[in-house]
Amino acid sequence: MQPLRGTKDILPTEIIYWQKIYEITKKILTTYNYHEVRTPIIESTELFLRSIGNFTDIINKEMYNFNDQRQRRITLRPEGTAGIARAVISNKLYLSNKISKLWYLGPMFRYERPQRGRQRQFHQLGIECIGSSTPMADIEVIRLAIRILQKLKFTNWVLEVNSIGNSREREKYINDLVMYLNKYYSDLDKDSQKRLIHNPLRILDSKNLKTQEILIDAPKLKNYLTLEALNHFNEICDQLCLLNIKYKINDNLVRGLDYYNDTAFEIKTKNNNQQNTICGGGRYDELIQQLGGPHIPSVGWAIGIERLITTIENTVEIEKKKVIIYIINLNIYKSDIIWKIVKIIEIYQLQFEIDLSNTNLNKQLKRANQIGSKLCFIIGNDEINNQYITIKWLETSTQQKISILHLQNYLKYLKNYLDT
């Protein structure tokens, strides 16, 4: 039996990359006083209808919706920010902290055509800085994304930024954009023709070359922004320069979710393929109020873990821990001595494996060599009767006998030897 289309087993040989990402992320974000949060995988469908936007691709084509036994409309979360905003409201986090700095890592679900780096069950790492409207908050979250990517040895990236204004500014812009694009309706790709009615801003994101040529002379959103929005964006650009963070202004950059305003940004690989966005985010000052909470300006981003792993798996160094001690048990009916040994090994936190196969000595030694163990503890009848261990170093085939009474001192020496 195979897994469902668009889902994937994460095997031990792959999970080491996930663990590395989590380890690096936690260390960096803890330094900046961001706190991990875990929200439910299922939420009320209404949450996403009110936050993401009725005419987005996620709402129209990609959400996994179902009715539970009480006929409540439930959705497997397609993204993380809406759930975080809901958690802020329902737990009244704003009462104890004017600014909440949160991060998450977990599965999301969208019904899309599976391909490399894109699954129907996928995972996102995200951060949310909730409670600040200052450009410095935007810079902090962008810088944290870059720091995480750099720590993962990912350097082949470009940062694109834009200001998309607020809903009122965009409404004026969209009217003019539609008037312009209507003149070229028959030349637009089919997706853009559909979006022209319900979601014209997404046309700016089109990968169709003909549509992109048409957009060259289209109205520019930046010309519709207020002085306040322009000053906010210019301050972000100035601080990026101050921090020596290279960036590119992309006038056509819009995010696919309706709750964004002002700052929008993406970090992309420099590879020439369509699925090259590693990190995407922006500011969402109205979302929490839109969901029934107070007005709380916020900014954040999300990184697709599967897509990130495909870019770092050949560059990031992963230390694969080997089993140090392989315990060969030649008498499975007398295991008391094994548990004595295990308790002593646990003191020094040395990695070990007990052979549970009940095979002969040669086969157990072969298995120890296959997994790269340094030494074997061999326990047979003589060892049990006389309370000692036969230790075999696999690289040199050197053997020695150690009394159980002296094992703690021996492991202390071994631990110091391995650490040097």
**CATH of range 325-419; options 3.40.50.800, 1.10.600.10, 3.30.530.20, 3.20.20.70:** 3.40.50.800
pLDDT-based confidence at residue 196 (cuts at 50, 70, 90): confident
Cβ atoms within 10 A of the Cβ of 137, count? 21
The reply, when asked if residue 70 is annotated as ligand binding, is no
Q: What is the helix (H) or strand (E) element at residue 212, kind and residue range? A: helix 209-215
Residue 371 predicted with pLDDT over 80 = yes
- Once rounded to an integer, what is the mean pLDDT over residues 200-214? 87
The reply, when asked if residue 79 is annotated as ligand binding, is yes
User: What is the number of residues in the chain?
Assistant: 420
pLDDT at 180: 93
The reply, when asked if residue 395 is annotated as ligand binding, is no
pLDDT at 273: 59
Query: Which segment of 47-61, 215-229, 261-275 scores lowest on mean pLDDT?
Result: 47-61
Bridge partner list, 160: 248, 266
The whole-model pTM stands at 0.88
Cα–chain center distance at 209? 31
The reply, when asked if residue 168 is annotated as ligand binding, is no
* DSSP-assigned letters across all residues of 66-91: EE-TT--EEEE-S-SHHHHHHHHHHT
The reply, when asked if residue 124 is annotated as ligand binding, is yes
The model's pLDDT over 9-40, given as tens digits with 9 standing for 90+, comes to: 999 889 999 999 999 999 999 999 999 999 99
pLDDT at 137: 97
Residues of the chain with CATH 3.40.50.800: 325-419
User: Which one of 5-19, 77-91, 152-166 scores highest in mean pLDDT?
Assistant: 77-91
pLDDT at 55: 58
The reply, when asked if residue 259 is annotated as ligand binding, is yes
Mean pLDDT of the chain, nearest integer: 91
CA separation for the pair 209, 197 (Å, rounded):
21
> What is the topology classification, in CATH, of domain 12-165+225-312?
BirA Bifunctional Protein; domain 2 (3.30.930)
- Once rounded to an integer, what is the mean pLDDT over residues 43-49? 93
Kindly list the distances between the CA atom of residue 113 and the CA atoms of 6, 76, 118, in Å, as whole numbers in the listed order.
Answer: 8, 17, 8
Kindly list the distances between the CA atom of residue 401 and the CA atoms of 14, 93, 389, in Å, as whole numbers in the listed order.
Answer: 38, 61, 6
The reply, when asked if residue 170 is annotated as ligand binding, is no
Residues of the chain with CATH 3.30.930.10: 12-165+225-312
The reply, when asked if residue 367 is annotated as ligand binding, is no
Residue 272 predicted with pLDDT over 70 = no
- Once rounded to an integer, what is the mean pLDDT over residues 324-340? 88
pLDDT at 419: 80
The reply, when asked if residue 115 is annotated as ligand binding, is no
